[in-house]
Structure 1
Amino acid sequence: MKLASYQSGRDGQLHMVSSDLKLAIPVPDIASTLRDCLDNWDNLLPQLVRCQQDLNAGNLESKATPFNPARCSAPLPRATQWLDGSAYVNHVELARKARGAAMPERFWTDPLMYQGVSDNLLGPCDNIVANSAWGVDFEAELAVITDDVPMGCSAEEAHKHILLVTLCNDISLRNLIPDELEKGFGFVQSKPPSTFGPVAVTPDELGTYWQDGKLSLPMQVHFNNQPFGHPDCARDMTFNFNQLIAHAAKTRPLGRGTIIGSGTVSNKDKSTGSCCLVEQRMLEIIAGGQTLTPYLKAGDTVRIEVTTPEGQSLFGAIEQTYTGNS
């Protein structure tokens, strides 16, 4: 299934979206919001499946309208919680190498994760608004939405708790990060609300591209309408989503509607480009001792998308403009 939330109230209006992303239809007889849908997922699933099948078959075409990502909020505008991992340890290693810091060996066996803003998440076409002095950056990621996850859930059992998969732009304020981390309490001011893709999809919609908690397709990033990166989402993913869920649930249960991010997609092969500006800056420091790429400037645009080899978009695209200071 492919589900979207059109802008309406605080939690959006749930829509079923056709697999080809051409049509959308509200489903108030099933659930008014994705939150309501998640809370009653097991009971509603048969109705949702029938609706998706009818929409794909053209049986609801007279009631449907063209799917419009610009009308979308985040799939879950108010999530239970937002936990972002750093599954691509190569990205972390580059960051430490650029500043001459050693890489702790445990980073390869114990995931990094932070808890961020979850109460006012951004839609796929919302503007990015922040003070340019803060060093505004984008980070192209994947994210999963879970059902209730019991405390102590193992990685082997975690896949059963993934209900939906979507895109994420984890916006970062790079110039604020060092001072926050120096305090030893983690991110607050340096991590504003993240952005999520127009459509959240059930893992079965991803077919054979979804294996072992990983998506074997490139993350395609365009910056100011120019190709910026296309690293493969599965390659060099040190921790899959099953492991990230197990890590988050080690000492506490996770409530239904928890979103867990992958961290910036990154490949060791740098010919695939990057999914954030800071990685490009790190590579410039390693190569020549100084940065050449600036952080976001007013009017800059970013587009984030995952497509199949045939060109079919899986989640729709995040398309945002940085408008400058608030």
Structure 2
Amino acid sequence: MRWVTYDGGAGPRAGVLDGENVRGLPPVVTVLSLLEGGDLEEAGESARREPVEVRPLSDVRLLAPIPRPPSVRDGLCFLDHLRGCRRAMDAPDELPAVWSQAPAFYFASPAAVVGPYDDVVISPGSTMFDLELELGAVIGRPGRDLHPDRAESHIVGYTLYNDWTARDLQQLDMAQGIGMGKSKDGAITLGPALVTVDELEPYRRDGRPVLEMSAEVNGVELARGTLDQMDWTFGELLAYLSRGTDLRPGDVIGSGTVPGGCLLEHVDTPDLADFSRWLRPGDVVSLHASGIGSTEQTVRPAPGLTPLRTRAARTAASTTT
């Protein structure tokens, strides 16, 4: 099934895509509540048999399938993406051994989640705003201390994931050394639908989903790749994430960026001269994944920035009063 959260003018509600229509459930029902209650499949069959409403897709606005996940974690499972970023920053391609010991991840902000066609505002103070082409796995069954060979069975489905990043703010985050901060909480795109695992069975090869993914800026392709390029599988990532802690229904886990799927990797690429800059207001960013669908979003200007006084400035001010 292809689950969506949509707004037809009376507030958000959950529904199932049926061709060019949405078959809606009662307003009190959400995709998250169905996951938490273990009722997703039964509710989907009910929506197909006796929907509360049927609306043409053209008449509704699609939101993120889970507008406020319990938690969002973003992995870094494509190591060639990391190598591409290091080359852009004139660092050696060879990765330290730590990258082969465990999959890296960070916690992102559920409050930053936006829908697949929402405008995205540049992070305040940023002049180096970037996109990132990823796939998000959504947890359907809770689990803890999962085995890597069985952990994928806890995934109920997948959705596109755009990890918008303010690269200049990321430099400050990295210099402080305690993880991602203001560089990553501007926006996280999820959508257009939560596509359940059974729907994607035709795309599985050797037990792994092989989805073709691509990203465009202003209609020009930036990157194309497949999910089986992951150095760490979703099963391995979930096993690591669940060590000593619980994964909960509705949690969203990002795959990390498909190699080439961000502007940082292309800043000095001669055959992509149009992308030798960062995103600007008016740019249109689109992600695509076979079996999942597409997103399309327009970049908007950053709001005004109120600067902070540095500690040194505050100390100087206090000594003169």
Report the TM-score when normalising by structure 1: 0.83
Q: Secondary structure at the match of 1:92?
A: helix
Is it true that 1:317 corresponds to 2:294 in the alignment? Answer: yes
Give, in angstroms, the shift of residue 106 of structure 1: 2.8
Q: Percent identity?
A: 27
Give, in angstroms, the shift of residue 103 of structure 1: 1.4
Give, in angstroms, the shift of residue 105 of structure 1: 2.2
Give, in angstroms, the shift of residue 152 of structure 1: 1.1
Closer, same or farther in 2 for the Cα pair 1:176/1:291, shift >3 Å?
farther
Is it true that 1:94 corresponds to 2:84 in the alignment? Answer: yes
Is it true that 1:298 corresponds to 2:281 in the alignment? Answer: yes
**Distance (whole Å) between structure 2 residues aligned to residue 147 and residue 207 of structure 1:** 17
- State the partner residue of 1:167: 160
Report the TM-score when normalising by structure 2: 0.84
The one-letter amino acid paired with 1:34 is V
Give, in angstroms, the shift of residue 292 of structure 1: 6.6
Closer, same or farther in 2 for the Cα pair 1:73/1:121, shift >3 Å?
same
The one-letter amino acid paired with 1:113 is F
Aligned with 2:25 (options 21, 27, 48): 27
- In the TM superposition, what whole-angstrom CA distance separates every residue of 1:147-180 from its partner, at most 9, and x where no partner exists? 3433211111212210121101110000111221
Residues 8, 59 of structure 2: 8 Å contact kept:
no
- In the TM superposition, what whole-angstrom CA distance separates every residue of 1:72-124 from its partner, at most 9, and x where no partner exists? 11111111100000110011122223322451123134111010111341001
Residues 2, 17 of structure 1: 8 Å contact kept:
yes
- State the partner residue of 2:179: 186
Residues 79, 231 of structure 2: 8 Å contact kept:
yes
**Distance (whole Å) between structure 1 residues aligned to residue 7 and residue 100 of structure 2:** 40
**Distance (whole Å) between structure 1 residues aligned to residue 205 and residue 142 of structure 2:** 20
Q: Secondary structure at the match of 2:161?
A: strand
The one-letter amino acid paired with 1:195 is T
Is it true that 1:146 corresponds to 2:144 in the alignment? Answer: no
**Distance (whole Å) between structure 1 residues aligned to residue 275 and residue 300 of structure 2:** 22
Residues 69, 124 of structure 1: 8 Å contact kept:
no
Residues 137, 276 of structure 1: 8 Å contact kept:
yes
The one-letter amino acid paired with 1:76 is I
Aligned with 1:37 (options 23, 26, 34): 34
**Distance (whole Å) between structure 1 residues aligned to residue 188 and residue 17 of structure 2:** 23
- State the partner residue of 1:82: 72
Q: Secondary structure at the match of 2:144?
A: coil
The one-letter amino acid paired with 1:36 is S
Closer, same or farther in 2 for the Cα pair 1:86/1:212, shift >3 Å?
farther
Aligned with 1:128 (options 111, 120, 127): 120
**Distance (whole Å) between structure 2 residues aligned to residue 222 and residue 232 of structure 1:** 15
- State the partner residue of 1:15: 15
State the superposition RMSD in angstroms: 2.8
Give, in angstroms, the shift of residue 306 of structure 1: 1.6
- Rg larger in 1 or in 2? 2
Q: How does 1:40-79 map to 2 (within 5 A)?
A: 40-41=37-38, 43-49=39-45, 51-52=47-48, 54=49, 63-68=53-58, 71-79=61-69
Structure 1 residues 91-100 or 296-305, which shifts more? Answer: 91-100
Closer, same or farther in 2 for the Cα pair 1:148/1:205, shift >3 Å?
closer
The one-letter amino acid paired with 1:197 is G
Aligned with 2:202 (options 208, 219, 226): 208
Closer, same or farther in 2 for the Cα pair 1:229/1:85, shift >3 Å?
same
**Distance (whole Å) between structure 2 residues aligned to residue 213 and residue 261 of structure 1:** 19
**Distance (whole Å) between structure 1 residues aligned to residue 215 and residue 59 of structure 2:** 17
Q: Secondary structure at the match of 1:189?
A: coil
* Runs of 5+ consecutive residues of structure 1 not aligned to the other structure: 267-273, 308-313
Residues 6, 73 of structure 1: 8 Å contact kept:
yes
Identify the structure with the greater strand proportion. Answer: 2
The one-letter amino acid paired with 2:138 is I
Closer, same or farther in 2 for the Cα pair 1:291/1:3, shift >3 Å?
closer
* Runs of 5+ consecutive residues of structure 2 not aligned to the other structure: 304-321
Give, in angstroms, the shift of residue 139 of structure 1: 0.5
